[in-house]
Structure 1
Amino acid sequence: MLLHLPGVLSAAQVDPLRQALEAADWTDGRETVGAQGARVKRNEQLPDSSPLRHELGAVVQAALSRHPLFHAAALPARQLPPRFNRYRGGGEYGFHVDGAVMALADGSQLRSDVSCTVFLNEPEDYDGGELVVSDTYGEHAVKLPAGDAILYPSSSLHRVTPVTRGARLAAFFWIQSLVRDLAHRRTLLELDQAISRLRAAGGDEVAVLQLTGVYHNLLREWSQT
């Protein structure tokens, strides 16, 4: 399930992030992947130890925490602090699958259920750089306005196409969901959205209450804390 999250960051938030990243010290993106990923990855990243990464990552996390669709879709239990990457001069990332288990700074581990990319410059600023996600329905190319984000299953085969002009800047991270199963998360999101539409339209209060109960009972049954 691919889900577009519009307006995660406003223009007033994106501009200083982009300016800071354009002046940043970057490192080879292959330093943060294994041998398989290093064969197809050609980009740059902020070092994990970079204070700027943590500063800008906090801005992105705070913005996402205020976005209701993010919580409804991802149902986050834990998440890796955002990283930042840059693609330019033909840089690309060939088809790959994200690692299933990732280490956090405190030594604990996170299971990657949901991947998130937040675009930090406008599509017309660069050529190429589409995020292509492959699933049973084919390949889906994503290139969003600055400040928008895309959620997709971490189990998906995906790639970033070569950037042949300009530079593509983005934040990215992974989420361990309260609900591990993708189909269950999709069902809960659809039910949550239906309840919201009924409530906004002044639907029958008893029916809305019953459906809300169904939502929480399913979440109770399917969640892992």
Structure 2
Amino acid sequence: MTARIALQYAMWPIPPLPTDNLYKLLTFMGLAMYISAFYILYDTKPYEETGQFAYSRIVILQNRIEDAGAKPKPLDDNLSKESPYDRYREYRELIHGLRIDPQQIQQLRDMNEQVLTMRLKARSYGDGLDFRHDNIRILLFGGAVLMTLGGAWWYFAYQRHQDFLVKLSATEAYQRLLLTHAEASQKPPFKTKKTRKSVTQVAEDNPPVNK
């Protein structure tokens, strides 16, 4: 068995789309959009990939450079408007001018490169937040509208007529059951035939013949 077939067996079976009714399809589409909005809303990233973690690493690198004898530019509370490349170049020049152990210099360089990569990832994620928020609003509003309109159309144009037919069929079946029961109760009781006659009945049926 190939890996593709095994994966198909391992996954849950996907139910078919309710394409038999347009209103039902619209209703389930709205429900899917509504659930997707909450999934995107609560789909959070790990702490190691957030801007807070990147800022903490910058603070640590800043303190290490200061401990080595350099004086980098002070950090602001919010670095969203600062270019990550400018801070990276500043730290690189300061690290290059330090008179410390070469192994420590290499560690500071590696940490500076890691901080730059983390800040770029955090900025990319932050730029996508507005797009995510717009998608959440569209999914919530569109899903609510589709669910409301689709559900109303589904009930008033289709489902209530089906409910009436089901109720009518059940009423007819109940009436037939009552009629059958009434007919059975009106039949006369079943009489058994006598197979043997008494002595008196035999004498009356066969009177004696006078000779």
> TM-score, normalised on structure 2?
0.21
Higher helix fraction: Structure 1 or Structure 2?
Answer: 2
State the structure with bigger RCO (CA 8 A, min sep 6), 1 or 2.
Answer: 2
> TM-score, normalised on structure 1?
0.20
Higher strand fraction: Structure 1 or Structure 2?
Answer: 1
